[in-house]
Structure 1
Amino acid sequence: MKNIISKIILFSIIYLGFFSFSKAQVLSVEEFEKKYSESSGAQLIDVRTAGEYGGGHLPKATNVDYRSADFQEKIKSLDKTKPVFVYCLSGGRSASAAEALRKNGFSQVYDLQGGYLKWTTKMKPVEGTSAAKDSKAITEAELETLLAQHSVVILDFFAPWCGPCIKMMPAVEKLSEEYKGKVLILKVDADANRAILTKYHIDEIPTFLIFKDGTQKMRAIGYQEESALKKLFTQYL
C-alpha cells in the first residue's frame, strides 16, 4: 500500500511539474519589463494587428499578428533557444499565441498580463504612437476646473488605433451636439494623456467616466450602442 501511495505522489509531482512547464509564464508589467531587460537575446513579439501595432507598440517589438493566416509560419523564423516575450492589447490573444509557441517547441515564453493597455497605463516606454491631430494633453488642473464648471461631465477615453472607439465616434459626436450646453463631453486621447489614465485607473478603452457636480458617478467600459450612449448622456441631467 505504501508503495502504491508513493507512486501516486511521485506521478502527481511529475504531472504537475510537466503541466506547469508546458504553460507560458504570465508576468505583471513590472515583472515582464525586468525579465525582458535581463534576458540575453530576448525576442519581443506584438501579436496584435498591423493597425494596432502602427498606433504604438513596445520599443523594438516585432509585429506578428496572431490572427493572420501565416502566424504559424512566421513564428518558425524565431529562435527556439532564446526567450520569447509576447503581448497583445489586453492579454487574450497573447495567451493563445503563447500557447501556440509552447506547442511549437519554444520553452521560454513570457506573456504580458494586461497587455499593451496595462503597459501604457503604467507609463512604460512605447514607440510609434501618434495622438489624434485635434487632441492635446489635459493637465489635472485643467480637468479639475472643467469638472467644477460643469454639472455633468463625461470623459471619453479613446485612441486613434482603437476600433470600437472609432466606430462609436459618429454617435458620440451626434449626442454631444444634441446635448450641448447640458453635458460636457471631453474626449481624452489615451496616447496623449497617460497621467489622466493613471489617475483614474483606466486599463481598457473605450472607457467612459461620468461625473455629476465634480463627483464620479459611473464607469462604462467597452463598445456602447447609440441607445446605451444616450442613456449615459442623460441619466444624470
Structure 2
Amino acid sequence: MKSKILFSLIFLFTLFSGKAQTATNIKTVEVTAFAKEIKTTQKPQILDVRTPEEFATGHIDNAQNIDWQGENFVKNVEKLNKNKPVYVYCRSGKRSLKASEKLEELGFKNIYNLDGGFLKWNAEKQKAQ
C-alpha cells in the first residue's frame, strides 16, 4: 500500500514538474538574422507595429505601418498573406512580441520578431557604418 502511494506521489511530481512545451510559429531573432531573412525572402512582409508618429521618424525599408495599439490592427493584418513569413518589429521588442502572438492566434504560420526592436536595428546599422 505504501509503495502505491509513493509511486503515485512520484508520478504526480514528475507530471507537474516539467515545463509545458508548446509549439510556436514565432521566432524572436537578433538583428543580423532578421536582416538576412528579409534580404533572402522575395517580397518580404515587414510589419512595423509602432504608432504612425514613431514610423515617421524612421523605419526599415519597405515596412508597412500597422499600429499594434490602433483600433484596426486585426482588420489590417488580415490583408497580409498568412502563409508567407512576416517580419515584425516595434521600438524595443515588447509590442512586436504581443503583435506576433496575435498574428499567431490569427493563423499566421511563420513570424519573425525582431529582438530589441528598431532601437537595436539602428544601433547595429550605425556600428556597421
TM-score range, shorter chain: 0.7 to 0.9
* Alignment gaps of 5+ in structure 2: 1-10
Q: Deviations over 1:111-158 (max 9, x none)?
A: 0000000000111xxxxxxxxxxxxxxxxxxxxxxxxxxxxxxxxxxx
Identity over aligned pairs, percent: 35
Matches within 5 A, 1:1-237: 16=21, 19=22, 21-123=23-125, 194=126
* 1: CA distance, partners of 2:25 / 2:116: 17
Q: CA RMSD in A?
A: 2.1
Deviations, residues 44-63 of structure 1 (Å, cap 9, x unaligned): 00000000000100000000
1:23 to partner: Cα distance: 4.7
Question: Secondary structure at 1:58's aligned position in 2?
Answer: coil
- Cα deviation for residue 65 of structure 1 reads 0.2
Offset of residue 40 of structure 1: 3.0
Number of matched residues?
113
Structure with the larger RCO, 1 or 2 (CA within 8 Å, 6+ apart): 2
Which stretch has the larger CA shift, 110-119 or 21-30?
A: 21-30
For 1:93 and 1:42, locate their aligned partners in 2 and report how far apart those are by CA, in whole Å.
20
CA distance in 2, matches of 1:112, 1:106: 16
Q: Match for 1:86: what amino acid?
A: V
Partners of 1:42 and 1:84 in 2: CA distance: 7
Greater C-alpha Rg = 1
Q: Which has the higher strand share?
A: 1
Whole-Å separation in 2 of the counterparts to 1:74 and 1:22: 22
Displaced runs of 4+ in structure 1, greater than 3 A?
none
Q: TM-score, normalised by structure 2?
A: 0.80
Structure 1 segments unaligned to the other structure (5+ residues): 124-193, 199-237
Shift of 1:81: 1.2
1:75: Cα distance to partner? 0.7
Q: Which residue of 1 aligns with 2:7?
A: none
Residue identity in the other structure for 2:49: V
Q: 1:97 deviation in Å? A: 0.3
Distance in 2 of aligned mates of 1:41 and 1:53: 20
